[in-house]
Structure 1
């Protein structure tokens, strides 16, 4: 029994390409874990330590009224990666590979993909900014690696998604 329609990219996938959907779902799980797990511990002096996650840092910026940094973090660390993964899953599982919607959907995914490494840059910038302080020591934690892994897995899976779409287009024109 098939769980996907045969004319979607998921239905046409063969071999390792069948793992595109699970890879995208896994990237979504890693992304959520990367948001919530501590990315670093910031130690100021000997007795003051703060564990920082992306979610906590974003909440703190909002609470302090730092709207610009809050907006940058909210858009590039939360919105773009989430929308990109949901869009990629939708393209893989639902969009008809024979129809006209696929090229438009892939164009939209490409637009989102152009920003995909910026979210890792934002996280790295946060670490560098904290480490630049002379009175702080930073210890990195799993949240940073989970978040980065989500971005890398997302990029890899969407590359395969594009290859599947090219194959579908080429077989339709042949």
Structure 2
């Protein structure tokens, strides 16, 4: 891989990591009930609330798909891009796994869940989406684009 392309992919992965970390702690939405009570939620605070309320299964499920999986993708792609060509077969296997795993991304499920909540609570509450959702979504999309590029590049090299 050309050094400039490797540098650009690493820059993209760094940007995705920054977007991801900021998106996890930034407010995702604000819930306003009866025009009086307002609560802001971040992914971190939502996970924290699930753990404190004893919803351990849901906590583990959401943590796995919304925190751990994106981090594994980012660091795994960084490893693929920055390791020697001697590991090319392992890289192809990892990229194939990411291509399949990407279809099970939690981003679309997350957006649908937000829309469902917004529609269900329309008469009782107002939901405002905040910048954290866009940062988190940007990170997931950027990682998906980079992994797709590397996967297609590895297929073309065959």
Q: For structure 1, list consecutive stretches of 5 or more residues without a partner in the other structure.
A: 1-11
Give the aligned partner of residue 58 of structure 2: 69
**Structural mapping, 1:1-150, within 5 Å:** 12-13=1-2, 18-96=7-85, 99-116=88-105, 118-133=106-121, 134-150=123-139
- Secondary structure of the residue aligned to 2:126 is strand
- Please, what TM-score do these two structures have when normalized by structure 2? 0.85
Q: 2 CA distance for matches of 1:13 and 1:136?
A: 53
Give the aligned partner of residue 155 of structure 1: 144
Q: For structure 2, list consecutive stretches of 5 or more residues without a partner in the other structure.
A: none
Aligned-pair CA distance for 1:158? 1.1
- Secondary structure of the residue aligned to 2:71 is helix
Compared with structure 1, are the counterparts of its residues 55 and 95 closer, same or farther at alpha carbon in structure 2 (3 Å cutoff)?
Answer: farther
Aligned-pair CA distance for 1:111? 3.8
Compared with structure 1, are the counterparts of its residues 152 and 111 closer, same or farther at alpha carbon in structure 2 (3 Å cutoff)?
Answer: same
Q: 2 CA distance for matches of 1:80 and 1:50?
A: 27
- Please, what TM-score do these two structures have when normalized by structure 1? 0.78
Aligned-pair CA distance for 1:39? 0.6
8 Å CA contact 1:33, 1:146 repeated in 2: yes
Between structures 1 and 2, the one with greater helix share: 2
Aligned-pair CA distance for 1:55? 0.7
